[in-house]
Amino acid sequence: MIRFKNVSKIYKPNTAALKNVNLRIKPGEFVSIVGQSGTGKTTLARLIIAEENVSKGSIIVGGWDITNIKQAEIPTLRRQIGVVFQDFKLLKKKTVYENVAFALEVAGAEPVKIRNIVPQALKIVNLEDKLDRFPNELSGGQQQRVVIARALVHRPKIIIADEPTGNLDSINVQEIIDLLLKINKFGTTVVLVTHNHDIVNALRKRVITLDQGQIISDQEEGKYLL
């Protein structure tokens, strides 16, 4: 599903964010990527969605070698990957419904499809009663659930969440993790970047630990090491 072969990423002029990373994530896995700040976790996530190019090595996503992906092909890749990043914010002047619908509108979806899929996505995240609310009328956890609903509209095979619980209190954190587990149960591959020890230790799923741009540990039912 996701494969990194000898991947290095050097930001100009000379920051080696990832160094010779080899990685294989199978369809349907739930993988946590952990490690201290500045060790390359976000870079790894951005490479998977082709928001950055590799400096060396190659990346395959869903059987597709995206190492030298053309700009015009990136939207096709992104539709296969639901992204929950901290900097992908909700639009403040759009309602919950409109925020989720917008992701389909920009992709050119038919109105009938939008009317069909948006309520389904919001039902999965248990927000079907908040369609007409604006983001500032929701809690942090509810807002993050809207972001997850938006990530689901193209029925992606992979969800990548980069610190999705970074700004949430512990009750909301559990809610988001439970939701990611539920989405994973449907068969979607989940890649969760986090530095929250409690989450990782409770999950008992695969844990990949990065340190200074290198994978230093990769364990099934892993625990937080650093």
Ligand X SMILES: Nc1ncnc2c1ncn2[C@@H]1O[C@H](COP(=O)(O)OP(=O)(O)O)[C@@H](O)[C@H]1O
- Binding interface with ligand X (CB under 6 A): 11, 15, 17, 35, 37-43
The number of residues making up the chain comes to 226
Question: From Mg ion, ligand X, none, which one binds at residue 194 (CB under 5 to 8 Å depending on kind)?
Answer: none
Helix (H, G, I), strand (E, B) or coil at 22: strand
Distance CA 33, CA 44 (A): 9
Amino acid identity of residue 221, one-letter, is: E
List of E strands, the chain: 2-11, 15-25, 30-34, 56-61, 64-65, 81-85, 158-162, 189-193, 206-211, 214-219
Q: Report if residue 165 touches Mg ion, rule: CB under 5 A.
A: no
Q: Which is nearer to ligand X, 42 or 144 (CB)?
A: 42
- Virtual torsion, Cα 174, 175, 176, 177, nearest 10 deg: 50
Q: Output the six-digit token pair for 37.
A: 């700040």
CB of 154 to ligand X, least distance (A): 25
Q: Which is nearer to Mg ion, 36 or 170 (CB)?
A: 36
Q: Which is nearer to ligand X, 53 or 139 (CB)?
A: 53
CB of 204 to ligand X, least distance (A): 23
Helix (H, G, I), strand (E, B) or coil at 61: strand
Q: Which is nearer to ligand X, 27 or 38 (CB)?
A: 38
CB of 14 to ligand X, least distance (A): 10
* 22-41 positions binding Mg ion, by CB under 5 A: 41
Distance CA 179, CA 88 (A): 18
Question: From Mg ion, ligand X, none, which one binds at residue 37 (CB under 5 to 8 Å depending on kind)?
Answer: ligand X
* 41-80 positions binding Mg ion, by CB under 5 A: 41-42
As a 3-state breakdown, the chain gives helix, strand, coil percent values, each rounded to 5, of 35, 25, 40
CB of 165 to ligand X, least distance (A): 15
CB of 41 to ligand X, least distance (A): 3
Question: From Mg ion, ligand X, none, which one binds at residue 54 (CB under 5 to 8 Å depending on kind)?
Answer: none
CB of 161 to ligand X, least distance (A): 13
Residues of this chain that interact with Mg ion (CB under 5 A) are 41-42
